[in-house]
Amino acid sequence: MAEIQSNDGGGKKKKGGSKQKKISVFVDFTPMVDMNMLLITFFMLCTSLSKPQTMEINMPSNDKKITEKDRDAVKASQAITLVLGGGDSIFYYTGQPNYKDYNSLKLSSYKADGIRDFLLKRNAEAVNKINDLKQKKLQLKITQEQFTKEVSEIKGGKGTPVVIIKAADRATYKNLIDALDEMQICNIGKYVIDKITPGENFLIKNFQTKGGLSQNAPK
């Protein structure tokens, strides 16, 4: 391949007179390969191939000037509060917390049959609609723009649950990301990360002691 042969007369007949030498130019590529291999090794070791994934997140403003009036009050029937506890535990309650009854807080898990199952059921309408849209997109009935537009409409639609994520100090960052992940998987458009209140801490403690603290419940 890397050989250039200059060959007169096809090499069939050899005339006695002027004999021309076969000149073979053979380029040795071995050093070239060596160098390339070195470079490849260097690039493989010193670079990262995949760009990191990211989650975009909007936090509520901390501004004290915003009064209660300006905030969108969440209907108790739509609200789901996830409380991320220590040791990879996750609790949830719907609507207003009931401090008297320790069973109002439910223990769940990060697994597929845990919190995801519950959220998918609560958000079934939106999930079904989005699944239909995905099918349509696969069949090329709608364009990508239409798809994203309609998905955001469904997610922001009336009656979809609003999820409030509250993490205890002992929860890890992974727990938070997992919870945010569930929002994406369950197509929940409205969710917020909020600070945990003493009330929620009490609920967890009350749950762990199976209602042992119910008599000193805050009002």
Partner 1 sequence: MSKVKVARKSTRIDMTAMSDVTVLLLTFFMLTSTFVKKEPVQVTTPGSVSEIKIPETNILSILIDTKGKVFMSMDKQSDMVNTLDSVGSHYGVTFTEQEKKKFKLSATFGIPIKSMKAYLALKPDEQDKVLANYGIPTDSLDNQFKVWVQKARAINPAFRIAIKADQNTPYKVIKDVMSSLQDLRENRYNLITSLKNETANKK
Judged by the rule CB under 8 A, the positions of this chain that interact with partner 1 are 1-2, 26-30, 32-33, 36-37, 39-40, 43-44, 46-63, 84, 112, 167-178, 180-181, 184-185, 193, 195
The two structure tokens encoding residue 55: 């989650």
The C-alpha atoms of residue 131 and residue 25 are separated, in whole angstroms, by 65
The two structure tokens encoding residue 123: 């958000």
CB 58 → partner 1: shortest distance, Å? 5
The C-alpha atoms of residue 2 and residue 26 are separated, in whole angstroms, by 6
CB 59 → partner 1: shortest distance, Å? 5
CB 52 → partner 1: shortest distance, Å? 5
CB 63 → partner 1: shortest distance, Å? 7
For partner 1, give the closer residue by CB, 83 or 102: 83
CB 154 → partner 1: shortest distance, Å? 19
For partner 1, give the closer residue by CB, 105 or 171: 171
The C-alpha atoms of residue 219 and residue 207 are separated, in whole angstroms, by 17
Q: Is there a contact between 160 and 177 (Cβ–Cβ < 8 Å)?
A: no
The C-alpha atoms of residue 30 and residue 92 are separated, in whole angstroms, by 65
For partner 1, give the closer residue by CB, 43 or 100: 43
- Nearest Cα neighbor of 200 from 174, 218, 182, 180 is 218
The C-alpha atoms of residue 73 and residue 77 are separated, in whole angstroms, by 12
For partner 1, give the closer residue by CB, 108 or 175: 175
Run of H or E including 208: helix 198-208
CB 6 → partner 1: shortest distance, Å? 19
Residue appearing with tokens 């060959």 = 7
